[in-house]
């Protein structure tokens, strides 16, 4: 996918949609200084370009029984194409894994895991380590979420 040049209006649209994707087009258009049709066409362009990847409801994990967040660091036993393919296949089997990052530094991968409690995490951990050979697996438990946002710091001021 080629990079799309975003002007200030596109960035304002993105900012408003990141704040609330349910905003009516008329209100969105007013906030960004456009009429409805051009605003809607820009939204469609942003979706087609893959910049807007989807629209979702943001749910409080604790309210749906997923009160424990764990960051799991994984060190690969090797960096072969085969192990990476096995890793991708393995993580696809675990809906508890809500984010996966390939890292630079001491840790190869960082997983964000959402589970109900310590018992559920222990079950997840045992299943994961049986399923995937790793050199090292380290778990770090979130004690409190201070900030968790979907609002990326996009520049809405400069042209």
Beta strand 68-75 with 109-115: parallel, antiparallel or unpaired? antiparallel
105: left (phi over 0), alpha (psi -120 to 50) or beta: left
> For 101, left (φ over 0), alpha (ψ -120 to 50), or beta?
beta
pLDDT in tens, 110-136: 999 999 999 999 999 999 999 999 999
Tokens linked to 110 = 């960082």
% the chain with pLDDT above 70: 98
Which pLDDT tens digit goes with each residue over 19-65?
999 999 999 999 999 999 999 999 999 999 999 999 999 999 999 99
Q: Give, as one character, the DSSP assignment of residue 63.
A: G
């Amino acid at each position: 996918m080629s990079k799309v040049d975003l002007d200030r209006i596109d960035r304002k649209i993105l900012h408003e949609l990141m704040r609330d994707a349910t905003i009516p087009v008329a209100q969105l258009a007013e906030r960004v200084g456009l009429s409805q049709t051009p605003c809607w066409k820009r939204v469609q362009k942003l979706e087609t370009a893959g910049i807007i990847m989807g629209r979702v409801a943001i749910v409080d994990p604790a309210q749906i029984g997923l009160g424990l967040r764990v960051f799991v660091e994984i060190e690969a036993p090797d960096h072969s194409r085969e192990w990476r393919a096995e890793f991708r296949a393995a993580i696809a089997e675990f809906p508890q894994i809500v984010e996966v990052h390939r890292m630079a530094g001491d840790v190869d991968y960082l997983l964000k895991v959402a589970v109900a409690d310590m018992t559920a995490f222990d079950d997840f951990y045992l299943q994961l380590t049986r399923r995937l050979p790793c050199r090292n697996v380290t778990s770090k438990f979130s004690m409190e979420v201070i900030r968790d946002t979907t609002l990326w710091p996009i520049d809405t001021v400069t042209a």
